[in-house]
Structure 1
Amino acid sequence: MEKNNVDNCILDNCLYFTVNKLSRAITRMAEDSFKKTGLSPTHAFCLMLVNNKPGISQSELAEQLHMMPSTITRFIDKLVMKGLIERKAEGKRSFIFPTDDGENTQQEIRAAWKDLFQTYSAILGEEESRLLTALIREAGNKLEK
């Protein structure tokens, strides 16, 4: 029994394990909150960025979402198939624009984002949620360098 407690303590003090545990929990909450949009949370955030900056480049989307360009290509392909965004090519570069349906989804995305914040804030506390987000963002920025 004591060995099990030691093993749990080791994992509880591991940033990798702890962040992944948090990621799984928040992902479940996000998927529930965004289910009503018909989009995954990441697809919804991608569309939100396009709605906020029509004509955004694919590389800028990748940078803002902290994802690889090939992953962004797949996200864009899916949003194009759903009729929410469109690509417009200029030379070798393509720029992403929302369709009318994509723009009309923005309010639903914001409501889902608000629901997600309220869901985890009800558990963690609003101030603690904002502080945790800031700490994780800062740590991520430092570790990316």
Structure 2
Amino acid sequence: MIDYFFENCLYFTVNKLSRAITKMAEESFRKTGLSPTHAFLMMLVIEKPGISQSELAENLHLKPSTITRLVDKLVVKGLIERKSEGKRSLNYPTEQGSAILKEIKDGWKVLLHAYSDILGEEEGKALNKLIHEAGNKLEK
């Protein structure tokens, strides 16, 4: 009976999926020395130098205070530099930060292949689309 509640509860099902995919992502990005979230943040900063904290928060669906902590760690690692422009804090990749873009993209490819091998490529894409759409609806 208890299994029924867990198997039919979106909260528990999504958390189970999150734990599994997080473990896979951490392994995929181990080579970069970054967490998956730090890697995604770095991709945004490299692709859009001068991106603001609020844009990072919006893109990553995280709170500004969380973005500040993530960026702080990347500044300490020498991968990002902050520049103030009035009240805004803009983020730029350092030369060292830009140099790891290939490793980051390789990490995403490793992750894609890892879960595609288990779920199937088309099933993985369909699941991603479904979860993305559900997330958008639930955020509103």
TM normalised by structure 1 equals 0.96
Unaligned runs of 5+ in 2: none
Q: CA deviation at 1:92?
A: 1.0
Q: Tell me what 1:96 maps to.
A: 91
In the TM superposition, residue 94 of structure 1 has moved relative to its aligned partner by 1.0
Cα drift, residue 9 of structure 1: 1.5
- Is 2:12 aligned against 1:17? yes
Letter in 1 for 2:132: R
- Distance in 2 separating the partners of 1:129 and 1:54: 31
1:31 to 22, 26, 51: 26
The separation in 1 between residues aligned to 2:32 and 2:81, in whole angstroms, is 19
2:66 alignment counterpart: 71
Q: Per-residue displacement from partner, 1:86-129 (whole Å, max 9, x unpaired)?
A: 00101111100000111010000000000000000000000000
Quote the sequence identity (%).
68
Partner amino acid, structure 2, of 1:116: L
Match of 2:100 in 1: 105
Q: Which amino acid aligns with 2:23?
A: R
Higher-Rg member (1/2): 1
Q: Distance in 2 between matches of 1:9 and 1:120?
A: 26
Structure 1 residue runs of 5 or longer lacking an equivalent are 1-5
Measured against aligned partners, the alpha-carbon deviations of 1:16-57 in whole angstroms (never above 9, x if no partner) come to 000000000000000000000000000000000000100000
Superposition misfits of 4+ residues, deviation over 2 angstroms: none
Shift of residue 10, structure 1, vs aligned partner: 1.4
Quote the RMSD (CA, aligned, Å).
0.4
Partner of 1:51: 46
